[in-house]
Amino acid sequence: MSAAVRNKVWFYFDVVSPWSYVGFRVIQRYQKLWNLDVTYKPVNLGYIMKFSGNKPPISVVNKGAWMWHDRDRATKFFDIALNQPANFPINTMHLQTFLDVLSTTSPSTLEAAVEACFAAIWVHDSPCATREDLESIFAKANYLGLGKEKVAEVLDKSMQKDARSKLQEEAKKLVEEEGMFGMPSMVVERGSDGETGMWFGSDRFEQLAAWLRVPYKGPLADGRVPKL
């Protein structure tokens, strides 16, 4: 593929979603191979579900039980840590508003912050209910290279009602205008002709490769076949 041809991806996610974490990792693995220009878009899954009329898997007993078995398989298939949180579902509103504010104030640090937030939930099972919880998460991540004062400034903004209202308004717009109903969702613009499409979930990357007309090399992006 010519270096001039860039495929753009807007990756919509909530760190409460294990499949968002899987999608995040796979996008990272394929970013160079597929020449992807990725923009990470933190949203609130609860609002998306509310406005679309969707229901969480755990609201159906058998589906909820199956989800955790599927997660166990996903850890091997995608080679990613997905430890079951002690208390699930988790309210990740503060993490999502933090990431949203950071996306406009310090976008160069957003990917590292997203990774730290996913790890907090799915690797370390860290609490994220209070400002103090978030301060602890970002302290462990060396304050994202921004410094303690800058992180505190972003936290100040993210704890405001306006930050939550913004996510609510954006979720309503994504449901009504883009047809979203869950996370992760990817809006992709094909560099070769500018055509745009949307994909949902962490198991559509083979389809996405076919649409982008690029090689698909498995979940690890290197041709290896995972063993379950």
User: Tokens 């290279």 appear where?
Assistant: 145
Contact 151/142 with Cβ under 8 angstroms? Answer: no
For range 10-38, the mean pLDDT: 97
Q: What is the CATH number of domain 7-212?
A: 3.40.30.10
- pTM of the entire predicted model: 0.95
- Predicted local distance difference test score (pLDDT) of residue 68: 87
Please name the amino acid found at residue 188.
Answer: V
Residue 1 has pLDDT above 50, yes or no: no
User: What are the catalytic residues?
Assistant: 17
pLDDT, averaged across the chain: 95
Residue 46: predicted pLDDT: 95
Q: Is the dihedral of CA 54, 59, 65, 71 positive or negative?
A: positive
Does residue 203 have a pLDDT over 70? yes
> Which residues, listed in sequence order, are joined to residue 63 by a DSSP beta bridge?
none
Domain ranges in the chain?
7-212
pLDDT band at residue 3 using 50, 70 and 90 as cut-offs: low
pLDDT at 193 over 50: yes
Closest CA to 43 of 17, 71, 9, 80: 17
pLDDT over threshold 60, residue 198: yes
